[in-house]
Amino acid sequence: MIRSFFLTGAPGVGKTSIILKIVNSIRGAGYEVGGMVSREVKERGVRIGFELEDLNTGRKGWLAHKEICRGPRIGKYFVNMNDLDAIGVGAIQNSLINPKINLIVIDEIGPMELFSNNFVNAVRKAINSDKPLLGSIHRKSKHSLLDEIRTMDKISIITINFENRDYIHNDISSKIINLI
């Protein structure tokens, strides 16, 4: 039975926006959501980094930033391994053990997040848990975890595009509520 749903698609197509619409639908139906999302942060119209947020506690931190100047580098951004493990991994781990959490969210599994072995292990545990999982995967990244996700029968991978992005959240929300 499919218990995990991963969105993929071109950058900027709206994966995180769709995930947040689904989170609101699930919460609106009276269920609790945990896990993490990452969003780009702009200053004066220029992207300066990516913020992490724990969906259960609201705790925020930096996934990557132009000016952190420590941690692995991707392009002009430095990955903040401390916040990734403390906030991102912590949010996933807490969702796994908190009996009140009905849905685990992991947005995104991409090149920045995959620097953390703790993150990779937490994602594997979430996939193998009994709780429904909603996430997004970077469409072009190469990693053994992404290879596993792309080939597992118990996972549905949904490609988001400009044609389906305005309505697909309703279908996914219904499927998740039926699993809960």
Q: What is the pLDDT of residues 2-30, one digit of tens each?
A: 999 999 999 889 999 999 999 999 999 99
Whether residue 76 is contained in a domain is answered as no
The CATH number covering residue 16 comes to: 3.40.50.300
Q: Which amino acid is present at 60? A: K
Of 94, 79, 117, the C-alpha closest to 35 is 94
The verdict on pTM exceeding 0.85 is yes
Tokens 């995930």, located at residue: 19
pLDDT digits (tens, 9 = 90+) for 40-52: 999 999 999 999 9
Give the residue numbers spanning the domain of 141. 4-42+52-58+85-179
Whether residue 174 is contained in a domain is answered as yes
The answer to whether 19 and 136 are in contact (CB under 8 A) is: yes
Q: Is the pLDDT of residue 68 over 90?
A: no
Q: Which amino acid is present at 73? A: R
Tell me the average pLDDT across 84-94. Answer: 98
Q: Is the pLDDT of residue 69 over 80?
A: no
Whether residue 63 is contained in a domain is answered as no
Whether residue 10 is contained in a domain is answered as yes
Strands 46-54 and 73-74: unpaired
Predicted pLDDT at 80? 96
How much of the chain, in percent, has pLDDT values that exceed 90? 93
pLDDT band per the 50, 70, 90 thresholds, residue 161: very high
Domains held by the chain: number: 1
